[in-house]
Amino acid sequence: MHYGPLSFNYEDFDGNLPTFLLNPYSWTKVASIIFLDAPVGSGFSYATSSQGYNITDLTSAAQTYEFLRKWLKDIHPEFMSNVLYVGGDSYSGIIVPIIVQEIHNGNL
């Protein structure tokens, strides 16, 4: 079963560029995910100066919290009432608890 918002239209595929079909039962109808590459320099993230790479775990968590706050309050307030889960992989096991602490402290 396909859970994402789009699937390939195999039925009408003619060997050229594929077309897509919208999945009316997609998980994106009931959930949203924000993926962040953090700290700076991981994944596709980058800084425009060498100073931008001089970052600690606490600074990275504070930046992530600032991003989430601005994203929710200033850009997408319609998501403010949604449940928020924070997760990560690999080194994020160090950063995620700090981010959650930042969120908690900001909500006091």
Tens of pLDDT, residue by residue over 42-77, are: 888 899 999 999 999 999 999 999 999 999 999 999
Residue 51 sits in the same domain as residue 96: yes
Report the alpha-carbon distance of residue 45 to residue 38 in Å, rounded: 7
Tell me the residue type at 11: E
Residue 62 sits in the same domain as residue 98: yes
Whether 23 and 55 share a structural domain: no
| Count of domains observed in the chain | 2
Whether residue 12 is found in the same domain as residue 57? no
pTM beyond 0.85: the answer is no
The stretch 23-52 carries a mean pLDDT of: 88
Domain that holds residue 22: 1-31
Which tokens sit at 103? 């969120």
Which tokens in the block code for residue 45?
């993230």
Could you tell me which residues come within 8 angstroms of residue 84 by beta carbon, excluding any fewer than 6 positions away?
Answer: 103
3 state DSSP class of 20: strand
H-assigned helices in 1-108? 57-70, 92-106
